[in-house]
A and B are shown apart, each in its own frame.
Chain A
């Protein structure tokens, strides 16, 4: 047993459901007690999904406990088959069904006899894998199922597409900015003259899966989801895959160069160097940003990074390599993939943290006192408590991390978005400096109602003049701080001396 308040990665069935409900016309049936269909709420709320989430539960109740599910699961599958006519029904085990040890595979086989749709049992063990691993496995399982089905029927297409083409693997529902990344990647492929053969699982039909082998290569943008499917396709069909996350200027270039190499090896004759140069210098603002005066002010500032492997690794590299920020430690909760993470970030940060314990992360932030945090929603709240700004870069996330505006993290537009996120997370250099001199943020104790802080206190001429020298955007704060200081000491007239005594007292 483990005492826990918070977890970074969800339980296994969430991963399976994310993959299943990303596909078009695939229905998942959870073998679960009442209330475990919370996934539907999350999808409906976070993604603001207009359609009903194609997930239902075959409820495990007392009767099931006593007598087994018997006909119930089979009935629920065949019923859903008739109501919704899905292409595929994925029976999804939960922690509860894991310990009941019913023969779900048998139910699937029986239901398959009656149902028009295909029926699969998601092959995940609740106690061994988490959400991310389960998603990866389920995607692999579904791809394999339809490849083999097509092969049996002799429907596998033999030839590659005429022009270079790609499968983008790993875009899914409830993934961090996945929709925007997907759009950006498609745009990037179009710019590179590469056809998108398929995007899976998001928005794909299972009927398209047999066409996967037509692509020249697979692109797996996220470390957590899609690698297993890509490896399978490589083994079966010799399709190479590119798993360099195109996040940040340097990594995007590396990803494109790898693509160039992979398709040239198959007979294409492309040279993307000119494109990379053009994009880096003029389309993405990030390269210019890192040369600008603003970014100079960020030099050597301390930051910490925590998240899933993909985003934490990419952010660490961007901060350290592209912006000259000092990453004190970088960490991930993807413990199962710790070696990969270490290999990615070791040279860009002082220390690597691998843990699922949010308490430990909180302590590590408090110990380091960074100027900014890049983490999940949990780190954002730690930041709030410690008064350190935080940019959210990875799941677990809340509704505000599903923006409706276009906010990719990948590709060249992604580099712009990340530059904004980083810059806005650090307190702006100039403001920061002035606030430090004149007494810091005073958000904790509002002493007057208006922002302008009109009051009964009088400022003498010199003090007023001194106040007017302070730049407008911090003047109100300085004024309030000074007046608070004066009130606390029953001073009626504020002089320059009082003003600086106030400043000192804040400094002390």
Chain B
């Protein structure tokens, strides 16, 4: 299979067997419990789920995390125990020990199979114990890795207040981002600042990002006179943004299609379909699209983007003309591929767990455009990839860099193939102009490392190279 070159006209989409490695979507609790400071995540599943969390979260597990397993036992499976009573007992214990503002129940494969009616039990129990209970079915039957966040945010979207409270100015001030931006300023100054914004309908951003990145992107939009009215999720559950009918929403991550759908269908919001703010090209396109929807002419983006690219030159030199292969496991693949094409790399394959062509439409279009402009073949997009087949293709293509999960990274390295562990892209700060360097820091790390080792002569470290 000498892929990629087949059809330069349009992107090709394929679907394989779905035998690929990825993290279970319950892993989203790891970053969401940190993001939403007053939450508690209860994963209702088995030892298998617990074992995964314990090992995947590594050190975090010892930091008294605000998440726990409700470990199902044989009596729960065979319904000898009453689900409602059991959950009530555990949730009361959580309330007593941690007193969170929200308990998020993460449904797992097991709760799906035994058809535990979490959505039905939650409102009843919520009434009884007085803490909101949000139900997200982030299970491995339906979803991959980052899609877990999507299920949680989609559930949260329905909890956002639908009316701005009466004393609006005060409420605004309590908003974490606003507070940060207005830090140390008097009320009048704040009012004055409001005039720096263009008059546009309220805009709410969705997607969980580390707080510094939230600030960076918010400020980036502020430069264009665009005000971010709220962010789903916010730092605290009690500060979820107001979402009224007719508000505009825009996503910051490519894996949030359910959340987008929920915001459109259930909250009657208007979705701005834009490429995602990953890489300077993506960030610029993202801002431009938002501006265009609000009829704003973007200012100073040319220089801003050019400046960032210039600062990346030392990294770009290392990767220009090199080939990259995404095995696919976290749904950031299309955006990253698009950015790396712009950096001068040749993308051989974009593996991806799930491809929502509607939600990612603008991103796909930008990928296509970027490939044409850079004069490189359009990559093949492989949905539900088959890792075994992919490894055979990697051998054939002699790829310069494989972006893959940890299950394959060491074996590939031992065979002389550079790899970058894909999960790092999910945890690193990669959004906005400011963080473009961080993406390339990750992408070039294996190349830099192997450059410094290259004269040693031990690049293939397995005995039998024979491949069946």
Interface residues of A (CB under 8 A from B): 1-7, 10-11, 13-14, 32-38, 40-42, 44-45, 48-53, 56-57, 59-62, 65, 76, 83-85, 94-96, 99-100, 126-128, 130, 378, 381, 384, 396, 398
Contacts and interface: CB of A to CB of B under 8 A. Distances in A.
In which size bucket is the chain B interface? 35 or more
Contacts of A49: 410-411
A3 B90 contact: yes
B158 to A, nearest CB: 23
A93 to B, nearest CB: 11
A490 B69 CA distance: 52
Given A7-B54, A49-B410, A99 B48 contact: no
Interface string B13-40: 0000011111111100000000000000
Contact of B407 (A53, A65, A398): A53
B47 A11 contact: yes
Contact of A96 (B76, B109, B406): B109
Contacts of B143: 34
26 contacts: A1-B70, A1-B72, A2-B69, A2-B73, A3-B71, A3-B93, A4-B71, A5-B67, A5-B68, A10-B47, A10-B51, A11-B51, A34-B20, A34-B24, A34-B141, A35-B25, A35-B144, A36-B24, A36-B140, A38-B51, A38-B55, A41-B55, A44-B410, A60-B141, A83-B468, A96-B113
B58 A38 contact: no
B411 A51 contact: yes
Nearest to A37: B21
Contacts of B165: none
Nearest to A127: B74
B77 A127 contact: yes
A62 B110 contact: no
Contacts of A381: 62
Interface string B407-425: 1111100100000000000
B361 interface: no
Nearest to B51: A10
Nearest to A13: B48
Contacts of B110: 95-96, 99
B182 to A, nearest CB: 34
Contacts of A128: 74
Contacts of A384: 62
Contacts of A1: 44, 70-73, 76, 81, 86-87, 89-90
B270 to A, nearest CB: 31
Given A126-B46, A398-B58, 20 more contacts: A3-B69, A5-B54, A34-B141, A36-B24, A36-B52, A38-B51, A38-B52, A40-B21, A41-B407, A45-B410, A50-B461, A51-B462, A52-B391, A56-B19, A65-B112, A96-B113, A100-B113, A126-B48, A127-B73, A381-B62
B18 A11 contact: no
A312 B51 CA distance: 22
A70 to B, nearest CB: 15
Interface string B128-172: 000000000001111111000000000000000000000000000
A59 B71 CA distance: 23
Contact of A4 (B26, B68, B81): B68
Given A36-B48, A59-B19, A5 B61 contact: yes
Nearest to B27: A35
Contact of B141 (A38, A45, A51, A62): A62
B407 A40 contact: yes
Contacts of A41: 21, 55-56, 405-407
Contact of A44 (B70, B86, B90, B407): B407
Contacts of A44: 406-411
A35 B409 contact: no
B140 A33 contact: yes
A76 B386 CA distance: 12
Contacts of B408: 44, 52
Nearest to B21: A37
B90 A35 contact: no
Nearest to A399: B58
Contacts of A94: 48
A359 to B, nearest CB: 11
B56 A59 contact: no
Contacts of B20: 34
A85 B468 contact: yes
